[in-house]
Homo-oligomer: A and B are copies of this chain.
Amino acid sequence: MRRTNLFTKTLKNAPADEVAKNAQLLIRAGFIHKEMAGVYAYEPLGLRVLENIKQIVREEMNAIGGNEAMMTTLQPREIFEKSDRWDDKKVDNWFKTKLVNGSELGMGLTHEEPIVDMLSSYINSYKDLPMNIYQIQNKFRNEKRAKSGLLRGREFVMKDMYTFARNQEEHDRLYEQIAVAYHRVYARLGIGDVTFRVKADGGIFTEKYSDEFQTISPIGEDTIYHVPDTERYFNQEVAPSKAPVHEQDIEQKPMEEKYTPGVVGVEQLAKELDVPVERTVKTMLYDVDGIVTAVAVRGDYSVNDIKLRMELSAKSARLIDESTIKQVTGAEVGYAGLINLPNDVQVVVDDTVESLVNFELGANKTDYHNVNVNWGRDLEKPERFYDIKEAKEGDQDPETGRTYEVVKAVEVGNIFPLETKYTDALDVFYTDENGAKQSIIMGCYGIGISRLVGMLAEHFADDKGLVWPMNIAPYKVYLVSIGEKGAAEADKLYDELIKEGIEVLYDDRDERPGAKFADAELLGIPLRVTVSDRGIEAGEFELTERAVGETIKLNREALIAKLLMLAANS
């Protein structure tokens, strides 16, 4: 492609309302156009990157037997009602629209239901399974805020795969096969060495973890806990954790009730009572699947709702309201503790509290806390302690006892066991070898294609602009002509490179060399070839690798051989 035939130009500035670095860069370089917050059009260069990523993903999904389909954006409400995901109270980010006759339609937020519904025409017997279907399609999510550029859009491109298995073993095999394919995708995208499979929340359909693929990157918004020298990676939201040991008193002191009116927060309380924060205990009241539960954790930690839910094998765990707190504790909010709770309150205590001696605890009495509380003497020691705390830096992995390494990362994919939730809800079963009706176990597997465009743009960028890995670059070569003779020679080289099958963006504009070089850097095409009047005289062409910034001089033959080698190496 010749620059003079490309409609985009590099821009000095992105729109003032664009705060995401990935979108700023991609807009300035003419890869995308902002239609509105979270909604971006792809200009020719951006579309080529998007398509290159799609193609890599497609090839790897096909290689494991994926059936590529393409579901629709317009969705009938009925199928989402069957799975209870239609109501805006249940799913709060639908875009909905209406037919002329007034019937409400949804805009493809997710496609579990339509895929399962389609399959109902085709699945009858055990012979029809297992099955593996995917699509690469636009998704629409009505996000309240959309400030992350391509990392979280209201309209975005996603690869979503769905598997359907006859039993857990078959499901697990498909699931692991796809995890391997995901690693191949990331390797081909140039982030294989920094992308890891990370355990994350499994949601409410399963007691298992889901798996995220996270790329370690300074641009990351997620926090990952890694056990050094192992494959154990956890998203902070589910990281099991053990607090480092703190020395405790040897002698138990007498318990005392302290008057602490209006003391807010653990830090202030610890100071007021002259107790180290590590010897305070926070008690929070939860509704866990309908059971009032007092959840206690050491004062310098907080309760992790997801871990709480998982530890109790519950479907939901949420803080209860103020009036119930008062009713249960007999005190204003802020004074909940573990002593003198009604008998029907379930008690769940984090293991950080187990070894404490002479600890502080809310007194279940307005304006009072107890100090020098001790297990066994002042209250019964629970038979079991739990790990329901939010992990923090310095914590250890309970399984290996090793201290976590904590890193920032960007989610680049996820895979998820759905059990039989959607297949059962949409009444799709299979008949087994014995003629018995059986549930179908489903998994779903996502890769945000447009998210990857933004993520890779930002991850690899330097202070001069974009730096695309060879495999997904919109073009492999940026050809720059300087001077009249240079232009004539560059014209010939352009034709020849195209004949050789090398994708070239040819800067044939009537512009200063500096402007062309600056554009080459902002656009991030991996290889720059410069053909100048002066070079021609010396029989030399300049080849610059964008990522390393080094320039070498080659004669024509050597240049073409080198370009072929570098471009093929992808």
Binding site for B on A (CB under 8 A): 5-9, 11, 30, 33, 35-36, 39-44, 47, 50, 65, 67-76, 93, 95-101, 105, 107, 114, 118-119, 121-122, 128, 131, 133, 138, 140, 142-144, 154-155
- Whether the Cβ atoms of B74 and A39 lie closer than 8 Å is yes
Jot down 17 A-B pairs with beta carbons below 8 A, ordered by A. Answer: A5-B67, A7-B119, A9-B121, A30-B122, A33-B121, A35-B76, A36-B105, A40-B72, A43-B67, A44-B67, A47-B70, A73-B138, A74-B140, A95-B105, A97-B97, A99-B142, A100-B143
Bound together, the chains give a CA A121 to CA B40 distance in angstroms of: 15
Which residues from B are CB-within-8-Å of A128?
A: 7
- Whether the Cβ atoms of A7 and B122 lie closer than 8 Å is yes
Which residues from B are CB-within-8-Å of A41?
A: 69-72, 114, 118
Bound together, the chains give a CA A178 to CA B47 distance in angstroms of: 22
- Whether the Cβ atoms of A140 and B100 lie closer than 8 Å is no
Bound together, the chains give a CA A69 to CA B36 distance in angstroms of: 17
Bound together, the chains give a CA A5 to CA B5 distance in angstroms of: 44
Which residues from B are CB-within-8-Å of A133?
A: 7
Instruction: Knowing that A11-B121, A42-B69 touch, tell me 15 more A-B residue pairs with CB under 8 angstroms.
Output: A7-B128, A9-B122, A35-B71, A35-B76, A36-B76, A39-B74, A41-B71, A41-B118, A42-B70, A43-B69, A72-B155, A74-B95, A74-B154, A95-B105, A107-B107
Nearest B residue to A164 via CB reads B7
Nearest B residue to A115 via CB reads B41
Which secondary structure dominates where chain A touches chain B?
mixed
- Whether the Cβ atoms of A67 and B7 lie closer than 8 Å is yes
Bound together, the chains give a CA A100 to CA B47 distance in angstroms of: 28
With beta carbons under 8 angstroms apart, the residue of B6, B8, B74, B140 that contacts A35 is B74
Bound together, the chains give a CA A70 to CA B157 distance in angstroms of: 11
- Whether the Cβ atoms of A155 and B73 lie closer than 8 Å is yes
Q: 10 closest A-B pairs (Cβ-Cβ)?
A: A42-B70, A95-B97, A33-B118, A97-B97, A41-B71, A7-B131, A39-B74, A44-B67, A35-B72, A74-B155
Smallest beta-carbon distance A155→chain B, Å = 5
Taking A97-B96, A107-B97 as contacts, is the C-beta distance between A122 and B8 under 8 angstroms? yes
- Whether the Cβ atoms of A118 and B43 lie closer than 8 Å is yes
- Whether the Cβ atoms of A65 and B154 lie closer than 8 Å is no
- Whether the Cβ atoms of A142 and B100 lie closer than 8 Å is yes
Bound together, the chains give a CA A33 to CA B75 distance in angstroms of: 13
Bound together, the chains give a CA A67 to CA B44 distance in angstroms of: 6
Bound together, the chains give a CA A41 to CA B143 distance in angstroms of: 26
Taking A7-B131, A74-B36 as contacts, is the C-beta distance between A68 and B47 under 8 angstroms? yes
Smallest beta-carbon distance A313→chain B, Å = 34
Nearest B residue to A40 via CB reads B72
Nearest B residue to A30 via CB reads B122
Bound together, the chains give a CA A215 to CA B466 distance in angstroms of: 47
Smallest beta-carbon distance A152→chain B, Å = 14
Bound together, the chains give a CA A133 to CA B155 distance in angstroms of: 22
Which residues from B are CB-within-8-Å of A122?
A: 7-9, 30
Bound together, the chains give a CA A143 to CA B99 distance in angstroms of: 8
